[in-house]
Structure 1
Amino acid sequence: MFVSPAYAQAAAPAGGAQMLAQFAPLILIFVIMYFLMIRPQQKRVREHRNMVEALRRGDTVVTQGGIIGKVSKVRDDGELEVEIADGIKVRIVRSTVSQVISKADAPAA
C-alpha cells in the first residue's frame, strides 16, 4: 500500500549520452529551420539591397504600395524622386521599391 523510499530513489542520473540524445531533435530542428527559412530570407534581403543600391535615373520601378513610375532623380539620403505621370513627381524611400521593371539603357563605352 505504501511506496517504499528505496523504490522512489531507484532512478539513475542521466548520463552524457542520454542527454545528447535528448537534445539531438532540438538541434536537428534548428538546423532544418536554418536551411529552409533563415538562409533563403537572408538571400532575398541581400538581393533586394543590391537591387535598391543599383537604382539609377531612368529605371522604371514598382513600389510596395503598387505605384509604377520612372526614377527621375536619385538622392543620397535614401530617397528617390519618381515621376508617376507627366509632370507629377513624388519622393519615395529607396527601400520601398519592390521591383525594377526595366533598366535604363546602359551608356555606350
Structure 2
Amino acid sequence: MMEMLANLPILMGAPEGAAASGGSGQMMTTFVTFGLVILIFYFLIIRPQNKKQKDAKRMLEALKKGDRVVSIGGIRGTVVSVKDQTVVLKVDDNTKLEFTKSAISTVVEQGKEEASSSKKDA
C-alpha cells in the first residue's frame, strides 16, 4: 500500500510519449488564449477609453465665450472668458467662478456667437 502511495504522482502523470509531443500544442493554446484576452481588453476597455479622452480634449479646446457648461461638481454656468488653463463662468447675475478647464464635464449649449455664424453660412 505504501509503495502505491509513493508512486501515485507517477501514476497520475501523462505518459512520456504524450508529454513530449503535446507540450508544444499546449504552449500554442496558452499563447492563443492570452492573445484573445489581450484583444478583448483592447476592444472593450482601452480603445473606448482613449476615444473618450480625445473627445473630452476636443470639447475643452473648443470652449468659447457664451457656451453653457456643467462642471464636474454639477455647477451650471455660462463661459465669460477662456484662458490657457482656466475658464471663468457666470453662474448668477453678479457671481463669477473660475474653474480649471479639466473641471468642465459637458457643454450643454453652444454659444450664441457660433449659432449666429452658422446661420450666416447656411
Counterpart AA for 1:87: N
Partner of 2:106: 99
Amino acid paired to 1:64: I
Are 1:62 and 2:70 matched, yes or no? yes
Cα offset, 1:33, TM superposition = 1.2
Aligned counterpart, 2:32: 24
Cα distance in 1 for residues equivalent to 2:87 and 2:103: 10
Residue 12 in structure 1 maps to residue 20 in structure 2: yes
CA RMSD of superposed structures (Å) = 2.2
- TM-score normalised according to structure 1 size: 0.84
Displaced runs of 4+ in structure 1, greater than 6 A?
A: 6-9
Give the secondary structure class of the aligned counterpart of 1:34. Answer: helix
Runs of at least 5 residues in structure 2 that lack an aligned partner in the other structure: none
TM, length-normalised to structure 2: 0.76
Letter in structure 2 aligned against 1:48: A
Task: Tell me, in whole angstroms, the C-alpha distance in 1 between the residues paired with 2:76 and 2:30.
Answer: 54
What is aligned with 2:45?
Answer: 37
* Deviation of the 1:18 alpha carbon: 2.9
Q: As a proportion of its length, which structure holds more helix?
A: 2
Higher Cα radius of gyration: 2
CA distance in 1, matches of 2:30, 2:104: 46
SS, match of residue 69 in structure 1: strand
Alpha-carbon offset, residue 12 of structure 1: 3.0
Q: Quick one: percent identity of the two aligned structures? A: 33
Number of residue pairs matched by the alignment: 105
Equivalent position of 1:84 in the other structure: 91
